[in-house]
């Protein structure tokens, strides 16, 4: 019902008839001000609706598709708000969104595991001979760590691809991409604990993260 509400709301907003709901009214104002593309908003809603059944991703590609349609779509909208229309920026946004989706899935895995749910890609589990039960028992054998290594490596690869466009991306797009600092911070921390996804340090805040964000912003990098 929530997803249908937002589908109807977006349709009404683009007909200049937003419902009298605070978030909808602010969204309508943003759409009018920045001429935001309806397709990206609908992709976010449609993809969330597909994932309401709480099933594990069958493969890494399925996770990347989810990330592309949610996280990357949000970045495309952010670029529109910043007034950026650039193919290189779009390519970077696609890869950063996928990296963010993968890292979010990894970060949430201990929480979901505590509720006996696993959403990590099953093809990588099968590749290393790991069962969901192995993961839920917090088994830290090498093959379980190898699963996490493979998934984290895919996120790192997307970050690397996104940064390969850095010299071609307009500087005014960089604020949309600054959260790569937080993504890289998590990937470094998980490497330091040898891909033990349940290690307590991974749940601790990095108090230096705001400083790192400031430095990257000052250096005009992402």
What does pLDDT average to over the chain? Answer: 95
**Residue 42 confidence (pLDDT) above 90:** yes
Give the per-residue pLDDT at 84.
Answer: 97
In a domain, 67, yes or no: yes
Q: How many domains does the chain have?
A: 1
Least Cα distance to 150 among 124, 129, 132 occurs for 124
Model confidence, pTM = 0.93
Give the per-residue pLDDT at 63.
Answer: 97
**Residue 2 confidence (pLDDT) above 90:** no
Distance CA 181, CA 154 (A): 17
Give the per-residue pLDDT at 139.
Answer: 83
Give the per-residue pLDDT at 28.
Answer: 97
In a domain, 7, yes or no: no
Which band of pLDDT confidence, cut at 50, 70 and 90, is reported for residue 55?
Answer: confident
In a domain, 19, yes or no: no
- pLDDT tens digits for range 140-198: 899 999 999 999 999 999 999 999 999 999 999 999 999 999 999 999 999 999 999 99
- pLDDT tens digits for range 98-123: 999 999 999 999 999 999 999 999 99
- pLDDT tens digits for range 207-221: 999 999 999 999 888
In a domain, 49, yes or no: no
**Residue 52 confidence (pLDDT) above 90:** no
In a domain, 39, yes or no: no
Can you give the CATH number for the domain in which 86 is found?
Answer: 1.10.600.10
In a domain, 146, yes or no: yes
Rg of the chain over Cα atoms, rounded to whole angstroms, equals: 19
In a domain, 8, yes or no: no
Residues in CB range of 22: below 8 A, 6 or more apart: none
Give the per-residue pLDDT at 1.
Answer: 86
In a domain, 48, yes or no: no
Residue 168 is part of which domain span? 58-219
């Amino acid at each position: 019902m929530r997803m249908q509400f937002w589908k109807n709301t977006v349709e009404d907003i683009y007909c200049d008839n937003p419902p009298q709901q605070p978030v909808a009214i602010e969204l309508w104002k943003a759409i009018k001000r920045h001429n935001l593309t309806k397709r990206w908003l609908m992709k976010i809603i449609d993809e969330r609706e597909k994932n309401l059944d709480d099933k594990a991703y069958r493969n890494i590609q399925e996770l990347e598709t989810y990330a592309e349609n949610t996280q990357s779509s949000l970045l495309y909208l952010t670029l529109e708000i910043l007034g950026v229309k650039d193919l290189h920026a779009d390519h970077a946004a696609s890869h950063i969104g996928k990296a963010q989706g993968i890292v979010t899935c990894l970060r949430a895995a201990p929480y979901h595991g505590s509720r006996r749910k696993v959403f990590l890609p099953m093809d990588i589990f099968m590749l290393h001979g790991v069962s969901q039960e192995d993961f839920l028992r917090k088994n830290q054998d090498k093959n379980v760590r190898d699963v996490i290594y493979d998934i984290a490596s895919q996120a790192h690869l997307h970050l690397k691809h996104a940064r390969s466009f850095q010299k071609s991306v307009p500087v005014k797009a960089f604020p949309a991409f600054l959260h790569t600092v937080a993504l890289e911070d998590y990937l470094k921390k998980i490497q330091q604990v040898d891909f033990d996804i349940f290690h307590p340090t991974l749940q601790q805040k990095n108090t230096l993260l705001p400083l790192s964000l400031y430095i990257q912003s000052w250096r005009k990098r992402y």
